[in-house]
Amino acid sequence: MTGMRKECIGLLGLLLVWGASLALLPPSAASAAEHKLDEMTVEGRKIEERLSAELSQYGHQVTVIPGEQIYESGFADLYQALEVMVPGLFIALKNGRGDYARQYLHGSDTILWLIDGVRINNRLYGRGYLDTVSLRNIERIEVLYGGEGLFYGTESTAGVVNIITKSITKKTSGEVGVSYGSYKAREVYGHATGTVAGNGFMVFGSHDGWDGFQPYEDEAYSKFGKDDHEKREYNRTNLGFKYQREMDILGRATIKAHVQRNVGEFDFARPSERNALNDRTQDLAFVKWDHDVTDNFSYYLKAFLHRWWTDYTRQRLDGSYIYNKALWGFQDWGFNLLSSYRFGGGHEFLFGLDYQNYYGDDEVTDIYTDHEEVKAVFAQYRPYLPFLPQLKTALGARYNRTGDNEKTVWNLSARSPLVAGTYLRGNLGTSFILPTAEQLWQNDQDSQKFGNPDLKPQESLNLDLGLGGQWSWLWLEAGYFIQDLEDRIVFQDNTYRNVDGKVKIKGYELQAKLGPWEGFTFSASYTQTDAEEDGSSHQLDQVPEYFAKAGLTWRGTCQKFGLGADLWGRYVGPIHNYDTEYGKYWLLDASGFISFGKEHRHRLVLRLENLFDEDYDTLLSRSTDQDGQLYIYGSRGIPFNALLTYSFMF
């Protein structure tokens, strides 16, 4: 164990002991400041803001992670926070912060990623990239599990992750902070907000980066004849502005505007190449009109623009370029409308429209069209049953059309209390994945890869069940999930095809939460997944067979100080790729904070990651080595590191 790690662990241990001793003091000297994942406050009827909480009431599985909990735990990367804190979500972060990642929610990687309800999954490649997204302006993260195609559309067969940014406040407030840590990790960030003459404003920004660690073992570099064992580094900057105004117009209305730019330079290191770099720019803007016309009728209309462009460079070991600042990316714009009408003493009807206009360009993987439109209409009915007033049920359908492709999906969900604090929830329905522009229109003559404009959308049948109970400071839930995927799109014989075989993903999840008691809270989850192709008994590549997560947190106060400490552990079971097994590793992270000064405005957070310096692989890759043989190598996970953050709130 290095001297630095000993000192950091010793400091954290002292904080834990101090916290435990304070927990034994009388309530007047020590009190808890706990965050419950299922709590959020929403003013008015604003449909989008209350949607996830209401879906939970109607049988959907929902997890909410408060932003304050993320900050108190000292996280510096969004992927890392999600990997540690979200039950059922497995994230393989390639080579540490600011890198690509593989994400699986209940064994499926078709996750829809949103920022303030605006999709960031792109229609060119079908997945969202979060490496440019800052962690520092998050109010909460909402995770919805299972098929969520009804409200959210394509790419949501596994679920939805919605990143909600901080809200404008009426009183002037804000925060500034700096971080420094191992591998020259550094960050500076801040935001300020307030309301003047009814006009609310917010500015926010951050800049972070690190010099990184050696991303591959020495043997991998030797196999490809590369002498330079370089480190993987990145730099990213986020800047944004918000505006909000509330008005009394036929009820209560609010107009919001949001603009942000994320830029970054990210090494995409390979032992087989001299250099690989993504120079990326992401712009996100939207204007939203929220209108509560009466107590029974409300709607919102949102127009958005999302741009995501990369200059992509790859250089061979001999110095020649595979790509030299090749452009690839996309932009999409559109609007969505959602309305809610309550009638008959408790019934509710929701109706919505979605429109997306897509443009893309790709000098890396050529596509012979650059434009696409997606249109959708959807509705949901939530009946009130006077003979079973505590039973919450909902039934809905959605029709989607893009080009010659069309798909209708449906959803039925319910939640009901049982006896003695127990409940039963269920969510059954179909969801879908539209073919990406790459799958439809690719025209790569060099690699002989061609799209297929006759592809049908993939459709899945999802079932998610949960039996749980809440008793004072104990919460338990056992869940079962299954996804049958039809018309699966695969690459075969130089093109993409829909195949007859199905993929079945099924498994179960156990969750528990104990506390808060004297400031302590313990939470744990275990997820078991069987993901197999039709007629096969082999687990799908890169999907872990099982994994477990657990966290022990403590929050308290003592005189003029606020205190807290966290321990987060996780175990990842066997994973397979290229007929090779990896995974099977333990990771333990820890953090502690102290807040002080007037109204506890100053805060110091120490975060320690991979306490036991576990050497593990996050992903496997395969390339031809200098002897002409296929060689399989692993991407190293982040080793032990420490990060210290200071912030001041005003």
DSSP E strands: which ranges in 211-346? Answer: 234-248, 252-267, 275-292, 297-315, 321-343
**String of DSSP letters for 181-201:** EGGGEEEEEEEEEEEETTEEE
End-to-end Cα separation, the chain, in angstroms: 40
Strand pairing partners for 332? 306, 358
pLDDT for res 450:
85
What are 183's two structure tokens? Answer: 């591998």
Q: What is d(CA 90, CA 102) in angstroms, rounded to the nearest whole number?
A: 8
Under DSSP, is residue 577 helix (H, G, I), strand (E, B) or coil? strand
Burial, 216: exposed, middle or buried (Cβ in 10 Å; 0-12, 13-18, 19+)? buried
pLDDT for res 102:
92
Over the stretch 78-137, which tens digit does the pLDDT of each residue have?
999 999 999 999 999 999 898 889 999 999 999 999 999 999 887 666 677 888 888 999
Q: What is d(CA 644, CA 608) in angstroms, rounded to the nearest whole number?
A: 9
CATH code, 136: 2.40.170.20
Q: How far is CA 4 from the centre of its chain?
A: 32
What are 219's two structure tokens? Answer: 């043997």
Under DSSP, is residue 33 helix (H, G, I), strand (E, B) or coil? coil
Q: What is d(CA 620, CA 606) in angstroms, rounded to the nearest whole number?
A: 32
pLDDT for res 41:
42
Angle at 553 between CA 615 and CA 204, to 5 degrees: 85
pLDDT for res 446:
65
Sheet order of strands, 62-66 included = 62-66, 138-145, 159-165, 111-115, 118-119
Q: What is d(CA 280, CA 270) in angstroms, rounded to the nearest whole number?
A: 19
Query: Left (φ > 0), alpha (ψ -120 to 50) or beta: where does 234 sit?
Result: beta
The residue type at 479: G
CA atoms within 13 A on the CB side of 286: 24
Q: Which residue has the tokens 């999709």?
A: 119
Q: Count of domains in the chain?
A: 1
Q: What is d(CA 56, CA 41) in angstroms, rounded to the nearest whole number?
A: 15
Residue 255 burial (CB count, 10 A):
14
Query: Left (φ > 0), alpha (ψ -120 to 50) or beta: where does 81 sit?
Result: alpha
Q: What is d(CA 238, CA 244) in angstroms, rounded to the nearest whole number?
A: 20
Query: Left (φ > 0), alpha (ψ -120 to 50) or beta: where does 155 sit?
Result: left
Q: What is d(CA 515, CA 26) in angstroms, rounded to the nearest whole number?
A: 18
Sequence length of the chain is: 650
Considering only CA atoms, which of 244, 235, 233 is closest in space to residue 206? 235
**What is this structure's pTM?**
0.90
Q: What is d(CA 464, CA 94) in angstroms, rounded to the nearest whole number?
A: 30
Q: Which residues contact 209 (CB under 8 A, 6 or more apart)?
A: 98, 185, 186, 187, 233, 234, 235, 236
Over the stretch 243-253, which tens digit does the pLDDT of each residue have?
999 999 999 99
pLDDT for res 407:
86
Low-confidence ranges of the chain (pLDDT < 50): 1-43
Please, are residues 127 and 140 in contact by the beta-carbon 8 Å criterion? no
Q: Which residue has the tokens 């990326």?
A: 280
pLDDT for res 362:
81
pLDDT for res 45:
60
The residue type at 96: G
The residue type at 486: E
Q: What is d(CA 436, CA 645) in angstroms, rounded to the nearest whole number?
A: 41
Q: What is d(CA 5, CA 353) in angstroms, rounded to the nearest whole number?
A: 54
**String of DSSP letters for 475-538:** EEEEEEEEEEEES-EEEETTEEEE-S--EEEEEEEEEEEEEEETTEEEEEEEEEEEEEETT--S
Q: What is d(CA 199, CA 508) in angstroms, rounded to the nearest whole number?
A: 48
Host domain of residue 437:
3-649
pLDDT for res 358:
84
Q: What is d(CA 355, CA 333) in angstroms, rounded to the nearest whole number?
A: 8
Q: Which residue has the tokens 């509560």?
A: 292
Pairing of strands 495-498, 489-492: antiparallel
